[in-house]
Structure 1
Amino acid sequence: MKSEIVSLTSIRGIAAIWVAIFHFVIPFNREVACISCHLPPLDKAYLSVDLFFILSGFIMCYVYMDKYKQCKEDKRTRNFYISFIQARIARIYPLHLATLIFFSLWILTLYTLIDNYKISERNNIETYIYNLFLIHAWGVWNDVTWNYPSWSISAELFAYLLFPIILSLVGFFLKNSLIPLALVCVVSIEARSWIDFDIGQGAAIYRCISEFTLGIIGYFIYTNNKKTIEILENNIFQFLLLASIILLSFTSIRDSIIIALFLPLILSLSNDKGFLSKILNIKPLYYLGLISYSIYLTHALVMMVYRDFRIYYFKTSGSLGFEVEVFILIMLISTTIFLSWFTYIYIEKKMRVYLNMIFKLDIIKRPLLAKLFKNE
């Protein structure tokens, strides 16, 4: 089994905190002191999702490529596909389901107890079913619903379903040159900024697939271009990449420019070398990475509970001033990290082990389903 790339785990944690802060400073039925006016990079925190998509494509290859090649040689690609999807469902679904249930129970409870409690029209039975099956970003609805950050998890599930196909496509171009395919991905990322369509028209899928594929291309660069990686993991290049991303986030430059730097940043950290990797190997940052999925899915719950108490109990919708709002922001982040620690241990880890045990029972090989999943 390949060793974990600690730097990439840590950077996932930083990205999760970044996007959480982004959502915490957005006004929800209230005016918030302009924290992002003092820290412009907060306005670019939604790009964390793009980093996640690229990183996901890279990590899926890093973890599963050897098994994929072996199954392909043994003509057992269906077995690989089934085990891969089972592993991904065990990884992402339990926490998604838990947060969805909590979200809905909280809303229903307050709707019952508070006469003037408002439920968004987008949070209805139809969208709940879409969320339950994790298909709510597949073009079935034109907006985010329920636990809104989960739209990207739905989009990633779609990418997982296409993973072997994308691998075959990248492998085909690898025989000639990856440059044309890489250019297609980069152009598609740029095109997102001037093509006007929403989630209901496939924007989430479009965004995820193009960047997920770019991450897969990055893995092939990682395995076939060692000299390129050695250059990128040089201290100077790592500093330039990090400084460029930070400085550009202070500007109004096109998102695609920043996103284009994410892949070389990932590649520069892929061997856990360089000064930046040493920083990212610090234990607190690594632990943030471990609980990053929980941070990403639970921070909206923390925001919702806080917002409802502020509006319906304390009846305070106006700004409390910059200093107070910053203090509240710190408390929201701290609460999210504590809750994420809890959900990581008692939901993510436990349910993942439990589901993987069920999948290992080989239920799909029973007579009723044997014909559907017959080995090649």
Structure 2
Amino acid sequence: MRFFKIWECMMPISSDRSGAIPALTGLRFAAALMVFFSHYNIPGLNGWALRVQGSGYSGVTFFFVLSGFIIAYNYLDRFESDPIKNTYQYIVSRFARIYPLYALCIIYPWMNSGLETPLLPYLVGVQAWSSDVYFSFGINGPAWSVSVEVFLYLTFPLLIPVLSKLNVIKSRNRLLIFALFSFAAQLCLAAYFSMPGRAELTSINPDSAHRWLYRMPATRIFDFCLGIAAAIYYKRHFVATNKVQRTWSRAVTASLLLILVLMGWSKNFLSAFSWDAAYAALFTIVILGVAIDQKSKVSAAFSGKRMILLGESSFAFYLIHAILRPLYTAHPSGSLMYQVLHLAIFLLIVTCISIGLHLSIERPLQKSIKQLFSKKKSTVAVA
């Protein structure tokens, strides 16, 4: 009871917040880079540094938490007041945001693969539910996370009315319990899959932690919920003061350092905890802290125009970096300088292509689809 009284004092009610949070867009590119370097080794690294690079798969956990935060930040009010009325526009918006480029990055590599793999499960975004890791990561490996996102997007219109009914949105104490429950569920699942007999299972085993904790959409709901809880706190219960903002800024720095330590820790690397639980709460603190103190050094580093453009292009970057692998062939026999320069040029190529895809395909089609479906809805309403 004493803990909740302290929590009550720390969280005075404030007015709703709205508007863009530029640093969160920039951070998306940092997370995409983490995934990129987990797939393309930086020459000359070994030991702790090599494990940090290999642990870049944790970047997808950041994306799932961020999705919960951004969607709740933008849609909380509408779904709390009238979920049925706002679901249509929400679905159209999410579809326009991810599907055109996703479909392109599925169909093209499928055509290159010889057309033997069934296309439909990938087009409708259900491949991550498969127990076969080769099917989940088929056609375009990184696209499995979009399959998870599709599931998370569909749960949001159901989650918010339930949270509202349970008074989680308005009650600070219940919001805390909701967040703690989500994190505790992740810890319990990780502990279960760390038990002898399960911890040794490889990613190709359908009973492995990799299948159930990393790529399974149902268990990723807890990342999403942590992001939603953070957004509710930021929008409804947080009051900005210089002292509180400085505290959150320090929390962001400490969390980033701890994430780095965990990524390089040999006992955590490829463990059941590393697939999700080790990073989810820390990424939540980073996202929330960056939103709270938008003038901090971390926020400033990711808020520039170039970083925002890279962040907006990060979805394209994420989807194409594996497709473009034929353009890059590592040559370990070359000098270290040659290898580093070779990888840097390839990274530049991937980045430039992703920006081009964002500006020429992703952004125009997103706008066109929204306009098309808005007109259709207006026409039906008038009729």
State whether residues 54 and 212 of structure 1, in contact with CA within 8 Å, keep that contact through their aligned partners in structure 2.
yes
Aligned in 2, Cα 1:353/1:217: closer, same or farther, shift over 3 Å? same
- What is the alpha-carbon distance in structure 1 between the residues aligned to residue 139 and residue 331 of structure 2? 22
Describe the SS at the equivalent of 1:178: helix
User: For this pair of structures, how many residues does the alignment match?
Assistant: 334
Aligned in 2, Cα 1:346/1:57: closer, same or farther, shift over 3 Å? same
- For residue 95 of structure 2, the aligned residue among 80, 89, 93 is 89
- For residue 129 of structure 2, the aligned residue among 133, 138, 142 is 138
- For residue 59 of structure 2, the aligned residue among 35, 45, 48 is 48
Return 5+ residue gaps in structure 1 as ranges: 26-31, 109-122, 311-315, 371-376
For residues 29-55 of structure 1, the C-alpha deviation after alignment (integer angstroms, 9 at most, x for no partner) is xxx956464443212111110000001
Deviation at 1:329, TM superposition (A): 1.8
Aligned in 2, Cα 1:103/1:321: closer, same or farther, shift over 3 Å? farther
**Equivalent in the alignment of 2:228:** 216
Deviation at 1:88, TM superposition (A): 0.2
For residues 228-276 of structure 1, the C-alpha deviation after alignment (integer angstroms, 9 at most, x for no partner) is 8963554433332222222332223343233321111111111413221
For residues 205-243 of structure 1, the C-alpha deviation after alignment (integer angstroms, 9 at most, x for no partner) is 134211011110111221233258963554433332222
State whether residues 109 and 140 of structure 2, in contact with CA within 8 Å, keep that contact through their aligned partners in structure 1.
yes
- For residue 190 of structure 1, the aligned residue among 187, 190, 194 is 187
Return 5+ residue gaps in structure 2 as ranges: 1-16, 199-206
Aligned in 2, Cα 1:361/1:302: closer, same or farther, shift over 3 Å? same
Aligned in 2, Cα 1:36/1:133: closer, same or farther, shift over 3 Å? farther
- For residue 40 of structure 2, the aligned residue among 19, 24, 35 is 24
RMSD: 2.9
2:343 paired with 1:329: yes
Paired-residue identity, %: 24
For residues 137-175 of structure 1, the C-alpha deviation after alignment (integer angstroms, 9 at most, x for no partner) is 234754311111111111111111110212123332514
2:304 paired with 1:292: no
- What is the alpha-carbon distance in structure 1 between the residues aligned to residue 98 and residue 251 of structure 2? 34
TM-score (norm 1): 0.79
- What is the alpha-carbon distance in structure 2 between the residues aligned to residue 302 and residue 245 of structure 1? 29
- What is the alpha-carbon distance in structure 1 between the residues aligned to residue 228 and residue 378 of structure 2? 29
Describe the SS at the equivalent of 1:42: helix
Q: How do residues 256-335 of structure 1 correspond to structure 2 at under 5 angstroms?
A: 256-271=277-292, 272-303=294-325, 305-306=326-327, 310=329, 320=334, 322-335=336-349
Aligned in 2, Cα 1:317/1:218: closer, same or farther, shift over 3 Å? same
Aligned in 2, Cα 1:39/1:231: closer, same or farther, shift over 3 Å? farther
Deviation at 1:279, TM superposition (A): 1.7
For 1:279, the aligned partner's letter is A
- What is the alpha-carbon distance in structure 2 between the residues aligned to residue 349 and residue 221 of structure 1? 30
Q: How do residues 51-200 of structure 1 correspond to structure 2 at under 5 angstroms?
A: 51-70=62-81, 72=82, 77-108=83-114, 124-126=116-118, 128-139=119-130, 141-142=132-133, 143-171=136-164, 172-174=166-168, 175=171, 177-193=174-190, 194-195=192-193, 197=207
- What is the alpha-carbon distance in structure 2 between the residues aligned to residue 146 and residue 192 of structure 1? 29
TM-score (norm 2): 0.78
- For residue 341 of structure 1, the aligned residue among 346, 350, 355 is 355
For 2:139, the aligned partner's letter is W
Deviation at 1:200, TM superposition (A): 7.0
Deviation at 1:302, TM superposition (A): 1.3
- What is the alpha-carbon distance in structure 1 between the residues aligned to residue 32 and residue 40 of structure 2? 12
- What is the alpha-carbon distance in structure 1 between the residues aligned to residue 362 and residue 240 of structure 2? 36
State whether residues 100 and 146 of structure 1, in contact with CA within 8 Å, keep that contact through their aligned partners in structure 2.
yes
